[in-house]
Amino acid sequence: MENYFEKIKKYLHNGHAKEMDNRIERLRMYIDEILLDMKDTQERRCGYLHLYGVSQTCAFIALKRNQDVELATMAGMLHDLHSYKTQNTDKHAEQGAVLARQILEELSLTNENETDLICSAIRNHSSKAIVHSAFDEVLKDADVLQHYVYNPLFPVMEHEKNRLQNLLTEFGIKPHQNDYEYR
């Protein structure tokens, strides 16, 4: 009988990731091993929801803005991995960029320019008040949007309110009635 984690891996990757020359799936398999190794099940759950959620939101925003969808998806998967892996959020953007570079090089997933692009987005993703490159902005916006759609009844962090309002406008989404009153 398969153990629980083997079932999760099979479900998440449809049993085909090893046979595929798909950089996103290869990266997801690597990240899943890190997340599955986490002892704290609540933090593991948060890691899966946030990393996969931001990754998918990156893909959506990159498609809309004509940015590299594959690299944006990978940046979303990697952006907070350091925090989940170490359970430490100090300098998480900078440390996350270092870990991302190590993983991308270890797995030989990207060339130098692609690695630099992904790591720049990760390094800058916590600087929500500053506008960086169009690619960096995809990750920042995906992070904010994922925080919001995870549970729209949760308060929006003050430093994300302006960016969220701009995103809702960009995507033609009308905020809930009294949305910001509750936040």
178 within domain boundaries = no
Residues 118 and 100: beta-carbon distance below 8 Å = yes
Residues in the chain: 183
Q: How far is residue 23's CA from residue 26's CA, in Å, rounded to a whole number?
A: 5
175 within domain boundaries = no
Q: How far is residue 149's CA from residue 156's CA, in Å, rounded to a whole number?
A: 10
Q: List, in order, residues 6 or more apart from 115 with CB less than 8 Å away.
A: 100, 101, 104, 105
- pLDDT tens for each residue of 113-158: 999 999 999 999 999 989 999 999 999 999 999 999 988 888 889 9
130: its two tokens: 């500053």
Assign 175 a pLDDT band (cuts: 50, 70, 90). confident
Find the mean pLDDT for residues 75-100: 94
Residue from 150, 171, 136 nearest 51 by CA: 150
- Residue 74: CB atoms within 10 A of its CB come to 30
177 within domain boundaries = no
At 74, which amino acid appears?
A: M
Residues 118 and 103: beta-carbon distance below 8 Å = no
The CATH number that applies at residue 53 is: 1.10.3210
Domain total of the chain:
1
pLDDT of residue 1: 44
64 within domain boundaries = yes
Residue bearing the bigger pLDDT, 1 or 158: 158
- pLDDT tens for each residue of 17-68: 555 579 999 999 999 999 999 999 999 999 999 999 999 999 999 999 999 9
181 within domain boundaries = no
pLDDT of residue 154: 86
45 within domain boundaries = yes
- For residue 181, give the 3-state DSSP assignment: coil
Residue 158: its H or E element: none
Q: How far is CA 147 from the centre of its chain?
A: 11
Q: How far is residue 51's CA from residue 5's CA, in Å, rounded to a whole number?
A: 18
Which domain does 82 fall in, by range?
A: 4-170
182 within domain boundaries = no
What's the predicted TM-score (pTM) here?
Answer: 0.86
12 within domain boundaries = yes
